[in-house]
Amino acid sequence: MRWLLGFAVALLFVGTGCSDEPLTESPEGIVAVPFTYEQVDVKPEPLGGWDAIATEYQYTEMAYRARLEGTVIVAVVIDAQGALVRGCEFRSLCVVRGIGGGTDEEALRVIGQTRFDPGRMDGQAVDVAMEIGITLSYADSSAVAGPYVEP
C-alpha cells in the first residue's frame, strides 16, 4: 500500500510539470506536491496586453538576413502574483520549439522581463503552466504574441 501512495505522488509530481519548490511532509507522513493548473477559467495575460510583448520583441539581424519566419514557443509557469516561477528543467522559462537565428534568445529575453495578470480558477489567482508563442514575419519584420495553442 505504501508503494502505491509513493507511485501516486510521483505520478502527480510528473503530471504537474517541473517544479523547483521542495516537497513537504505533513505530520501524518503525506507528501504535498505544489500544484500548477494548465486549464483555468481566466488565462494569465501580460500587463499591457499581448501587444506589449510583440512591441518589445526585436527581430534579430541574423534572423532578418536569413529571412527566418515562424513561431517560437516558450514554456512558462506564472504564479498567483503574476511572476514567472518556472518553465521546464527547473528554469524560469524555456524554448519548446525555436527557429534559430537569435530569435529564441530574444523571445526568452522579452518574456522573461514581462509581468502578468495571474490566471484565475474559481475566482482565485493560481499558478498556471502555459506556452507562449511569438510568431515572426520576415515581410514586415513584425512579431505577434499570444498564448500558444497547438493547431
pLDDT, position 33:
43
pTM: 0.72
Contacts of 21 (CB under 8 A, 6+ apart): 34
**pLDDT, tens digit, 9 for 90 and up, residues 53-77:** 999 999 889 998 999 999 999 999 8
Low-confidence stretches of the chain (pLDDT beneath 50)? 1-27, 29-33
Neighbours of 15 (CB within 10 A): 11
The Cα diameter of the chain in Å comes to 61
Dihedral of CA atoms 141, 65, 101, 149 in degrees, nearest 10, equals 30
Neighbours of 133 (CB within 10 A): 19
DSSP, collapsed to helix, strand or coil, labels residue 26 as coil
Cell of 111: 518574456
pLDDT, position 80:
92
